[in-house]
């Protein structure tokens, strides 16, 4: 709760949370609240501009753009979330295990992680969709696997730092089990870093989902998605040069807010004062966390 209170004190965090709450609302209720059936074709009103009936106009077969944006939020966001959850589910436990369960497992997980890092997101997703079939689940599984090294590295980095702390060693000497030490001393330090990574990876995944649906992969038409709408709008720029702005703005707001939130989480969970007071020669837990969070940012940006 303290971390949440700290987060809310940061203006950019408040802004990001409000925007993300709006997008979450659309994700859950967008389809139900849409003024029109997002698949209904008003073929006598094709490519019309905004009007009282269609607030954001109609698309190339006369469908209501606002309704498609609202309904399309769910597929876009759920797809991204699915990929990130898969990434976290694969990356966090393996990161902890890598730091805790011996050199053989460490070597193996590092090699797998290194291999996955060199694979390009979109191309790999296209290859998986081509192999397993063109579906959202297949594409998101591929993205999730490729995101997992980010979680792996961040988790491992923090866990390694914690492992060398005197109070952890003391707990182990006093007979604490590895499981108890992980739960009590490590997980609480890893979690904020995972949260930062989660926010940033979700932003990246949103863009990948949009890119894939832009390329015609993942979601089959006529189901609306932000990327799919953007792609089809580009074919009709002569008639509606402003049309790509709407899905583009939603994407920008979602990804930008997630990045702002990630920064704010890092700021809220890091203890700046202690970092400033501590001497460079002592490696405090806060320093380890800060270093891990810095790595989180760098890894996610890479």
Q: Taking the CA of residue 242 as centre, how many other CA atoms within 13 Å lie in the half-sphere pointing to its CB?
A: 8
Q: Is 124 in the site for another protein (CB under 8 A)?
A: no
Q: Is 103 in the site for another protein (CB under 8 A)?
A: no
d(CA 240, CA 248): 14
- DSSP letters along 114-174, please? HHHHTS-HHHHHHHHHHHH-S-HHHHHHHHHHHHHHHHHHHHHHHHHHHHT-HHHHHHHHT
Binding mask 201-240 for another protein (x = CB under 8 A): ---------------xx--xxx---------x-xxxxxx-
For the segment 125-154, give every residue that binds another protein (CB under 8 A). Answer: 130, 134
Q: Cβ of residue 129: shortest distance to another protein, in angstroms?
A: 10
Nearer to another protein, 79 or 87 (CB): 79
Q: Is 39 in the site for another protein (CB under 8 A)?
A: yes
d(CA 63, CA 46): 8
Nearer to another protein, 222 or 285 (CB): 222
Nearer to another protein, 161 or 247 (CB): 247
Vertex 259 angle, CA 253 and 262, to 5°: 135
The site for another protein, by CB under 8 A, has a size of: 23
Q: Cβ of residue 47: shortest distance to another protein, in angstroms?
A: 9
For the segment 158-187, give every residue that binds another protein (CB under 8 A). Answer: none
Vertex 259 angle, CA 253 and 265, to 5°: 130
d(CA 226, CA 217): 13
Q: Cβ of residue 43: shortest distance to another protein, in angstroms?
A: 5
d(CA 13, CA 199): 12
Using CB under 8 A as the criterion, which residues of the chain lie in contact with another protein when the complex forms? 39, 41, 43, 46, 60-62, 130, 134, 216-217, 220-222, 232, 234-239, 241-242
């Amino acid at each position: 709760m303290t971390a949440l209170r700290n987060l809310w004190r940061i203006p950019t965090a408040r802004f990001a949370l409000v925007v993300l709450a709006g997008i979450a609302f659309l994700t859950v209720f967008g389809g139900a609240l849409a003024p029109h059936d997002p698949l209904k074709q008003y073929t006598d009103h094709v490519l019309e501009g905004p009007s009282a009936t269609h607030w954001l106009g109609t698309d190339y077969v006369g469908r209501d753009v606002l309704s498609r944006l609202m309904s399309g939020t769910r597929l876009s966001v759920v797809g991204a979330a699915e990929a990130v959850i898969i990434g976290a589910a694969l990356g966090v436990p393996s990161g902890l295990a890598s730091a805790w369960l011996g050199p053989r497992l460490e070597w193996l997980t590092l090699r797998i992680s290194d291999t996955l890092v060199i694979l390009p997101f979109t191309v790999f997703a296209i290859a998986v969709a081509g192999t397993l079939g063109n579906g959202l689940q297949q594409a998101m599984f591929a993205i999730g696997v490729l995101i997992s090294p980010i979680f792996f590295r961040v988790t491992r980095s923090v866990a390694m730092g914690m492992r060398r702390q005197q109070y952890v060693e003391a707990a182990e000497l006093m007979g604490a089990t590895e499981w108890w030490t992980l739960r009590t001393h490590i997980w609480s330090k890893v979690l904020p870093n995972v949260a930062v990574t989660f926010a940033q990876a979700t932003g990246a995944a949103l863009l990948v989902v949009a890119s894939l649906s832009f390329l015609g992969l993942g979601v089959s038409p006529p189901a609306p998605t932000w990327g799919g709408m953007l792609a089809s709008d580009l074919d009709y720029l002569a008639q509606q040069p402003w049309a790509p702005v709407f899905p583009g703005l939603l994407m920008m707001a979602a990804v930008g807010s997630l990045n702002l939130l990630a920064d704010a989480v890092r700021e809220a969970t890091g203890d700046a004062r202690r970092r400033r007071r501590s001497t460079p020669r002592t490696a405090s837990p806060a320093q380890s966390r800060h270093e891990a969070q810095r790595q989180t940012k760098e890894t996610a940006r890479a």
